[in-house]
Structure 1
Amino acid sequence: MSGPERVTLAMTGASGAPYGLRLLDCLVQEEREVHFLISKAAQLVLATETDVSLPAKPQAMQAFLSEYTGAAPGQIRVYGKEDWMAPPASGSGAPGAMVVVPCSTGTLSAIACGASNNLIERAADVALKERRPLILVPREAPYSAIHLENMLRLTQLGAVILPASPGFYHQPRTVDDLVDFIVARILNLLGIPQDMLPRWGEHHLGGSEE
């Protein structure tokens, strides 16, 4: 198995909830264990942008997401925002990588300054201090100088900033194609196999001229 066996997936209150849902589904299909964290703002955005309305309690949410994605028992684990005994809260138990998608600029700021006021922020702080992959997917426009400074600081600390800016060289026909573009890039960074998006140049291999 290439890539991390366990991944922390956090969703916060920026637009782009379909990215997080699609990544969750892909991680489940690739048989990864997912530690799922979501803010209250992200639950509101999710209900606004999709047809998914998550239960409020972690246990009920876990059951819902397991059924929604077809996950095996225990494959998805959901934790509340103040569950400080959850594995992502400690370097000795945290998964091998973390993705925040979508990542609000408020969460970006909190991670950049090490606030650790909730489990999402603490889990990201753990990923940074343990030198584990941390991928942040902001969705904002335009960016202020504050946002850009926080992104620079986080990049210097070892995080990867992957803005939700889909490309068009794969000739997308649907919104799902645009979502898959970003999710495929995340999976590539994690080292997890994906067949949603050919790597640059692969889509030309069959049509090269003499």
Structure 2
Amino acid sequence: MGPTAVRLDCTGGRVSPCRGVFGKTAAGGRRCSAASEVRVGCELGLVVTGASGSRLAAAFAERAAEHPDVGALHVVLSDGARLVIAQELGKERATPHGFAAGLAVSPAGRAKLRTWAEADLAAPVASGSHLLRGVVVLPCSAATACSLAAGVSRGLGQRLGDIALKQRWPLLLGFRESPLSAIHLEALLTLTRAGAVVVPPIPAFYLGGDEMGRFVDHYCMRLFDLLGLPVDRPDLRWRAAP
């Protein structure tokens, strides 16, 4: 048997050979399924727009920063997001630096955070040559969804979404608007056909209870599932009644 192939992660770092069933290395270092593949230091993009739901964005950012398979989280706040964040989280959080500073993360998690101004189209993540595991738009406003569906990039946040589509990276849209007009539905259909995944923050009522924290945990878990990043929370998954 020849030497095991060396794989690189999305940041260019060396990754251990892919492990198959019962920890055995797949022959020739072949790529295993997303669920079993070893990932080290992947980078994610988080775009926060002007829809209500800043708490969801903060919760996802905290969990992403602490995830062992995430090496960096790039955060962009739209101008509309800053207005909403001031109302929902406080004025001191309504800047990229303030948003990141208010996250409840460990020193190691904080070191993974990268914040970029909406107008900074010279940022590294403004190019598809900077590899990301995926981009999450959370919350995703109707204006942002419609712009992305039309192929329009106004600012770095929408540019990140546009890059994810053209690079065929996972693009998760936490669409926050209700009721939906025909224009919204057409835009979401266009985005879905282009490869995006629309993930509205809808409560999982089967979890039971009235705690908002459980809903937030469940929603973030579903986002990580779609990004192919493991989350060990069986208590948040569907279980048939005994």
What's the TM-score bracket when you normalise by the shorter of the two chains?
0.7 to 0.9
* Structure 1 residue aligned with 2:78: 39
* Structure 2 residue aligned with 1:27: 64
* Structure 2 residue aligned with 1:76: 113
Question: Following the alignment from structure 1 to structure 2, what is the Cα–Cα distance between the partners of residues 4 and 141?
Answer: 36
Q: Secondary structure at the match of 1:185?
A: helix
Deviation per CA, 1:18-46, whole angstroms, max 9, x where unpaired? Answer: 11110001001104210000112212212
Note if contact 1:128-1:159 (Cα within 8 Å) is conserved in structure 2: yes
| Alpha-carbon offset, residue 62 of structure 1 | 7.3
Structure 2 residues not aligned, in runs of 5+ = 1-37
Candidates 73, 76, 89, aligned match of 1:50: 89
* Structure 1 residue aligned with 2:9: none
Note if contact 2:133-2:227 (Cα within 8 Å) is conserved in structure 1: no
| Alpha-carbon offset, residue 71 of structure 1 | 4.4
Structure of greater Rg:
2
Candidates 34, 48, 51, aligned match of 1:11: 48
Note if contact 1:138-1:162 (Cα within 8 Å) is conserved in structure 2: yes
* Structure 2 residue aligned with 1:199: 237
* Structure 1 residue aligned with 2:181: 144
* Greater Cα offset, 73-82 or 27-36: 73-82
Query: CA 1:63–1:7 in 2, change beyond 3 Å: closer, same or farther?
Result: closer
Deviation per CA, 1:113-136, whole angstroms, max 9, x where unpaired? Answer: 111111011111110000000000
Deviation per CA, 1:167-203, whole angstroms, max 9, x where unpaired? Answer: 20011331112222221211111122224553323xx
Letter in 1 for 2:82: Q
Question: Following the alignment from structure 1 to structure 2, what is the Cα–Cα distance between the partners of residues 3 and 182?
Answer: 23
Question: Following the alignment from structure 1 to structure 2, what is the Cα–Cα distance between the partners of residues 62 and 163?
Answer: 22
Query: CA 1:189–1:71 in 2, change beyond 3 Å: closer, same or farther?
Result: farther
Aligned residues: 201
Query: CA 1:71–1:42 in 2, change beyond 3 Å: closer, same or farther?
Result: farther
Note if contact 1:62-1:76 (Cα within 8 Å) is conserved in structure 2: no
Note if contact 1:80-1:119 (Cα within 8 Å) is conserved in structure 2: yes
Note if contact 1:9-1:101 (Cα within 8 Å) is conserved in structure 2: yes
Does 1:128 pair with 2:172?
Answer: no
TM-score (norm 2): 0.76
Question: Following the alignment from structure 2 to structure 1, what is the Cα–Cα distance between the partners of residues 158 and 85?
Answer: 20
Query: CA 1:137–1:63 in 2, change beyond 3 Å: closer, same or farther?
Result: closer
Q: Let me know the Cα RMSD of the aligned residues.
A: 2.2
Question: Following the alignment from structure 1 to structure 2, what is the Cα–Cα distance between the partners of residues 28 and 152?
Answer: 31
Question: Following the alignment from structure 2 to structure 1, what is the Cα–Cα distance between the partners of residues 40 and 145?
Answer: 24
Identity of aligned residues (%): 36
Question: Following the alignment from structure 1 to structure 2, what is the Cα–Cα distance between the partners of residues 159 and 145?
Answer: 19
